[in-house]
Structure 1
């Protein structure tokens, strides 16, 4: 039902929008649209009551499906009409003859849409009458809320609770570090949801394991994989190679490159979620046996795969949790952050519920997340629901997961189903997911909050319910990225398919299966196959491409995308190598989200201005400059416009958008993200009116012609959370924002001196300085910033020879980077400084004599990276014999190397 309610909600918004813009509809249509709007409002009220009834009542389910279908029909009619009228108007007002042709064609279009709406009205009358026929007109009687938020303020758990596998962890750590020196494979085997990845991640990050192995890497395999992509992922764990270099290598050369690197190293490679013998055979030659204790570790559901990889190593079969362990995990998930455990009056029901999970951790975690938001009186209903489901003979795990899905509030169900668009083992960014939810119309406004704020709350609630897992936090402590367990992903896909909400296409494309899809996600290498189909899918609203390899579209494939799907709302070309956007993109007037995340774009076409409904535009390009036409001012619904470089070149090259002409960007009043663009004429008269900006990145010209305009209006950006400014030189009175919401600040350019600590934003959590040329030690000021978690001093930001961290300085700093500070010679760290530091990165500070003595007192430090430093400096860090070894011997992960073989530590996703 939630999907039907979401469909109707989206349609209502569309109808209201068109009624407000009355000129869109000509006489004779407005009355019909008003009738539709009123009728669908009545249906929406009934749909909310139907949510809790349709699972057990086929009549209600059929009625809900009828409502959804007619809402889709109405949406198609309205969108097609608007599309045709927009096309006619673009070419109709040139010359008298063309004007007459336009009027004639518009009347024909009007007649057709009137007839279509009349047919829909008849369907709606039939559906309304059928409520009496089905005997469901009084469904709302007795319906109550099923998800009271009695512990809404429970904190988010950053890591899954680790219960019951302590002995398993010790056993497997011993197998990795002890035994024969031969290269061997250690396999953790068990069914989905048993905790294989959680246990293996715990082992991978174990302090003794980190110290024992010279090199480590974590690679996710999954059911669908491309050998070349896997090999490139392994290479990217260890080396920085350009895309061109990788393309020149065939599969044999890629294997040899990995093998060559791993020679003489004691390494640990984790292959998470490997399914087939073929997957191991495709990779095994890359892992040399140097008889030095190197290990490969598997997680797999198939014992035969483990035996095939290494017949001499017995697979480690993961057990189910014992009764007491299950209860402990259940209490931790159901009562997070509480030491009292389960209240006595709930224990009987709780233990019976846990017993139904039969020791499967994922089932316990999910059911615990469900009950954590239930009132005590509702526990018995949950227990009975599980028992009732057992009669149906479905697989146990599916029953429990389905119960948690059905218990989601109606507004969360479409949000959960949408997660199926991402490939297996994909770590998705929270901001992107929320932007997609907004574009799809899955979020409903709530008071004065932005839709993005509503989306963040929905994401938090799904995490609290253990339906998705938190993977990474941002420097400000917010949600940065998430992932979803493959069993829960399977659930979202199966429910989405049943609801006709989403279709996933793999390599074997079935044209008939896509004909009724509203959303299409193309995974693996199915793009070429799909675009070669002759059949069209006129009802398609979203196309999201997540190929595992970079595809280069041919012209006919581009036209298939830009001309074949006229009603698209979302087009996400992830990893598709777009050379340029054709003018035809401007015909997709319903588009709300456009992502080009692997492009070589040099400019956007002027037709981009036709996308007046576009909310999010994300462009990642290998070029340094992206030219933006002045027609951008027409995109009045734009909320997020972000330009960035691909991750592999982002540290060395930053893309800048050049806005042409003098567009009136103040017309884009909803703009929240604008990053990163060059200052120009567009700033005059409009910059100060962009007061809804949350994220701003701007490049001031070398002459500073527009700097004064920028400085004048920057103080008006009260909602700003992230600011990035690039310029040749900043004035001594640079207006450092003091806004309560600003958490990230990045300044690239000369600074005379840092302001006093009282002038910095109070909630600043991340600060990056580049080319500042500061002569006074910046740490004296920065170490007093109480909320600072990430500090990056890069590329001549400090011209002094000595700096110091005093006791109690940087109380919350977790990550500290010093890069290319060529004048720096001495660095002093007093005992008690940086008590929360986790990661220290020193890169290219060529005159730095040695590491500070005080590092030995920072017991929290987990990772030290030393890149591009002189041989004398690196010699001091050698294990057991280096002069500075006593300062760092307690650090689990130490990486010392040059850029040519830069190591990247890949942390595994946080999965149950």
Structure 2
């Protein structure tokens, strides 16, 4: 079993840990530990073959389970022993360990670890002997892992990301549903799409939602995923944020009824389309329906659901559309798109097609099954196709297809290193959209990623995500500006599979009922999902936990006793992930979690981190959000394994300075002294204030990939210029003045941009400060944002030559000129252009042939702009135009019914005009 193999892989490096080696030598248990290491290495060899042979053989399955349990036992002994050794080290005892070896030999830990190892050795001997008893001596003589998947490097070279959605079939259904949305009754109708999981309800509805005819018909649109685990208040707040009905702070104070009223008031004079995806209960519809007014203007609400009764209940006068299965030819078409992706396979096509069609027939026209099987077979030889054909067995039960066999087959075919990564997705709530950086950081903390060659852990993680997408085991939802994976989600049927497989292997337990304590399953990971604000129930019945992940929709509080227990009760934690849990302070006991590698706390009111956090010598990721500014203690310099320090948000989070520790407040930020150069593995430094600490420190962070830094003035910009010469790994640079530039006077408001031409990996740049001269940007930039730059010359003349640029944002006061022009052939790759608060801009010209790839144009608060450019009519690639907070005269020119500029934009499917003017405070 690959999960057991990963457990053993995690255990072996611990046995070679230098601290452990020193301690076990002095405890006279070195021979025992060496024996364990050698025996687990031998087991690892057998496990590779057992992974292929355990399916359908209970003897092998039982044997693998016994190996798993003894590996867990060994890990518990080693981690507990390391915890005790490190506790002694912090007291200064282990610093004198050699001098007092005789005393150490008499310590209780020596006797405990020796006795426990002897018990483990006895179990291992019994397991080894049981191979003969079970009649499975031939394990270890096979070819190894069950998967013949491509190597990591091969995936990087041969497997570009496929399209997010391969839409096959349903053309007639699509046409009929478009008519239901745009024609017929004027009353607010509910249009429902009903079908079993995996049938393509969401895919079809997305196609409808983005159709040109539909986009043009409605004034405004919104999409929200409901799922089984929902909070009505949070769903309504999503609508409020989408339409900016009220500010986020105001929305937090409104109850459900008030939120419904605000949304209804906003929609009352608009023809709207709202999609409620994956709705399971009548109660969910009852909680939301009053937010969608019926004013007889042709507005529509769309539902996708597995339950026909829910669809009928939402609108008794509308017939739900029950989605059909794909035909044989449609199934074959989808299967080929997923399997071959336009590649020439180079095999005998007649034989391959015969096998393929037999496999497709067993999928019974279910799109999810076809996509997953297609991903499984991509790149495999005919022999393996035949094995898959023989393995598929499923049946119809009560009118629904049970596809667990197909999904399970695809899971079992994953390479051993991808299986724990896939199972880990069960930690996330239903319909959760997980960011690539977040997930990769968790994988790294769990030990699932290993550096290979010159690739970092993060780069290996990116490849793992790509492989899961290629296999259709996860769904790509958003790309970043470099066309890589930004975020993904997992289909709920595949999520069910991951949870089921994880529970069986004691990998993970998911709790949705807050009232019950965790079971005594010895699961190594516990995920708690809560929908309503409650106190979190925790108990000591899970002493072996390595990860606790808590997701709260809304807020939940930790009482003082619970907080103390959480940070003291689980000594062996590697991951502590608290999303939506209110925390007012981190107790000093957190420093005792010496195995911790990942710490994330959101929704906190922290003002400082305890100095004991420096004891977390294994911590890789520290991610803290707070309503306050956060002070960072100097002890953070002891955390040499730290790779990602994230204190995100648009407000500055911390200031670092040199000299003695001072507690001097500037705009609510606490200054602390620390040596960041001691954290040489750091790849992300987000939320720091510029200061003297940069001198001689920042330039030594040569592994830095992302830097997010705030400047009180431009005084330290030269230190950034000097440091950045050495930061050749930098991918993302984010720098800005901490307050609006109009507050500053004289030269202090200038924030000169350093020379970046040598940064060949830099792809994203945000610069928020006044520029005296227009800089030369790196030619490989894919995303550029300028704010407060105060440029006098038209920036387009320079920026349009950046051939890799895909996203450009010119925000408030970035350009002070009155004219702007985009030349023919300029911006060849630009996909998104954002122009905001260019207060003096009166005329914008776009020549024919400019921006040939533009998909999205956003213009907001440009009060002097008189009209849209003539050349916009030639940008035929445009899919979406948003006009926010423009003058009434400007908006009148773009009206469909007689507007002078309508002919320039009538080809654009989606046009969104927002007339409400809202200003957000800078939070000073």
Write the mapping of 1:258-269 to structure 2, written as runs, cut at 5 A. Answer: 258-269=263-274
1:419-455: CA deviation from partner (whole Å, max 9, x where unpaired): 1011111111011111100001112332232111111
Following superposition, the deviation at residue 335 of structure 1 comes to 0.6
* Residue number among 788, 794, 799 corresponding to 1:782 in the alignment: 799
Q: Secondary structure of the equivalent of 1:696?
A: strand
Following superposition, the deviation at residue 900 of structure 1 comes to 5.4
Cα 1:791–1:57 shift into 2, 3 Å:
same
Question: Contact 2:468–2:474 at 8 Å: present in 1 too?
Answer: yes
Following superposition, the deviation at residue 504 of structure 1 comes to 0.6
683-692 vs 859-868, which deviates more? Answer: 683-692
Q: Is residue 2:697 matched to residue 1:686?
A: yes
Question: Contact 2:202–2:304 at 8 Å: present in 1 too?
Answer: yes
Question: Contact 1:148–1:373 at 8 Å: present in 2 too?
Answer: no
Write the mapping of 1:855-894 to structure 2, written as runs, cut at 5 A. Answer: 855-894=872-911
Corresponding residue for 1:799? 816
Corresponding residue for 1:910? none
Q: Distance in 2 between matches of 1:311 and 1:222?
A: 22
Cα 1:32–1:664 shift into 2, 3 Å:
farther
Corresponding residue for 1:469? 475
Corresponding residue for 1:206? 211
Corresponding residue for 2:363? 357
Following superposition, the deviation at residue 808 of structure 1 comes to 0.8
731-740 vs 780-789, which deviates more? Answer: 731-740
Q: Distance in 2 between matches of 1:476 and 1:900?
A: 33
Q: Is residue 2:484 matched to residue 1:478?
A: yes
Q: Secondary structure of the equivalent of 1:55?
A: coil
Q: Distance in 1 between matches of 2:559 and 2:857?
A: 45
Q: Secondary structure of the equivalent of 2:168?
A: coil
Q: Distance in 1 between matches of 2:710 and 2:267?
A: 43
Q: Distance in 2 between matches of 1:685 and 1:110?
A: 45
Question: Contact 2:199–2:368 at 8 Å: present in 1 too?
Answer: yes
Q: Is residue 2:654 matched to residue 1:643?
A: no
Cα 1:898–1:597 shift into 2, 3 Å:
farther
Q: Is residue 2:778 matched to residue 1:749?
A: no
Q: Is residue 2:686 matched to residue 1:675?
A: yes
Determine which structure has greater relative contact order: mean sequence separation of CA pairs < 8 Å that are 6+ residues apart, divided by chain length: 1
Which structure 2 segments of 5+ residues have no match? 658-670, 738-747
Q: Secondary structure of the equivalent of 2:262?
A: helix
Q: Distance in 1 between matches of 2:246 and 2:145?
A: 56
Q: Is residue 2:522 matched to residue 1:516?
A: yes
Corresponding residue for 1:441? 447
Write the mapping of 1:671-820 to structure 2, written as runs, cut at 5 A. Answer: 671-702=682-713, 704=715, 706-726=716-736, 734-756=754-776, 760-820=777-837
Question: Contact 1:269–1:297 at 8 Å: present in 2 too?
Answer: yes
Q: Distance in 2 between matches of 1:573 and 1:241?
A: 27
Q: Distance in 2 between matches of 1:128 and 1:610?
A: 40
Following superposition, the deviation at residue 601 of structure 1 comes to 2.5
Which structure 1 segments of 5+ residues have no match? 904-912
Q: Distance in 1 between matches of 2:95 and 2:643?
A: 37
* Residue number among 593, 598, 616 corresponding to 1:588 in the alignment: 593
Q: Distance in 1 between matches of 2:218 and 2:240?
A: 17
Q: Secondary structure of the equivalent of 2:848?
A: coil
Cα 1:237–1:545 shift into 2, 3 Å:
same
Cα 1:503–1:94 shift into 2, 3 Å:
closer
Q: Distance in 1 between matches of 2:520 and 2:812?
A: 51
Following superposition, the deviation at residue 532 of structure 1 comes to 3.1
Following superposition, the deviation at residue 92 of structure 1 comes to 6.0
Corresponding residue for 1:906? none
Q: Secondary structure of the equivalent of 2:687?
A: strand
Cα 1:376–1:792 shift into 2, 3 Å:
same
Q: Secondary structure of the equivalent of 2:528?
A: strand
Question: Contact 1:829–1:855 at 8 Å: present in 2 too?
Answer: yes
Q: Secondary structure of the equivalent of 1:792?
A: strand
Following superposition, the deviation at residue 525 of structure 1 comes to 3.6
99-108 vs 873-882, which deviates more? Answer: 99-108
Q: Distance in 2 between matches of 1:114 and 1:323?
A: 64
Aligned length: 888
1:34-73: CA deviation from partner (whole Å, max 9, x where unpaired): 2222221111111112110111221211111111111111
Q: Distance in 1 between matches of 2:680 and 2:2?
A: 31
Following superposition, the deviation at residue 586 of structure 1 comes to 1.4
Question: Contact 1:155–1:337 at 8 Å: present in 2 too?
Answer: no
1:323-365: CA deviation from partner (whole Å, max 9, x where unpaired): 1111111111111024899922201111110000111111111
Q: Is residue 2:417 matched to residue 1:411?
A: yes
Question: Contact 2:858–2:881 at 8 Å: present in 1 too?
Answer: yes
Q: Secondary structure of the equivalent of 1:827?
A: strand
653-662 vs 745-754, which deviates more? Answer: 653-662
Cα 1:563–1:603 shift into 2, 3 Å:
same
* Residue number among 565, 569, 573 corresponding to 1:564 in the alignment: 569
Following superposition, the deviation at residue 214 of structure 1 comes to 1.1
Question: Contact 1:863–1:891 at 8 Å: present in 2 too?
Answer: yes
Q: Distance in 1 between matches of 2:123 and 2:241?
A: 57
Question: Contact 2:189–2:301 at 8 Å: present in 1 too?
Answer: yes
Corresponding residue for 2:42? 42
Cα 1:842–1:94 shift into 2, 3 Å:
same
Corresponding residue for 1:27? 27
Write the mapping of 1:506-545 to structure 2, written as runs, cut at 5 A. Answer: 506-507=512-513, 509-511=515-517, 513=519, 516-525=522-531, 528=534, 531-545=536-550
1:372-420: CA deviation from partner (whole Å, max 9, x where unpaired): 1311221111111115x67999963111111111111111111110110
Question: Contact 2:194–2:322 at 8 Å: present in 1 too?
Answer: yes
Q: Secondary structure of the equivalent of 1:560?
A: helix
Write the mapping of 1:64-75 to structure 2, written as runs, cut at 5 A. Answer: 64-75=64-75
What is the root-mean-square deviation in Å for CA atoms of aligned residues? 2.7
Q: Is residue 2:190 matched to residue 1:185?
A: yes
Question: Contact 2:654–2:688 at 8 Å: present in 1 too?
Answer: yes
Cα 1:392–1:732 shift into 2, 3 Å:
closer
Q: Distance in 1 between matches of 2:36 and 2:88?
A: 25
Following superposition, the deviation at residue 19 of structure 1 comes to 5.5
Corresponding residue for 2:665? none
79-88 vs 14-23, which deviates more? Answer: 14-23
1:235-284: CA deviation from partner (whole Å, max 9, x where unpaired): 22212534442232222112111111111211111111111112111211
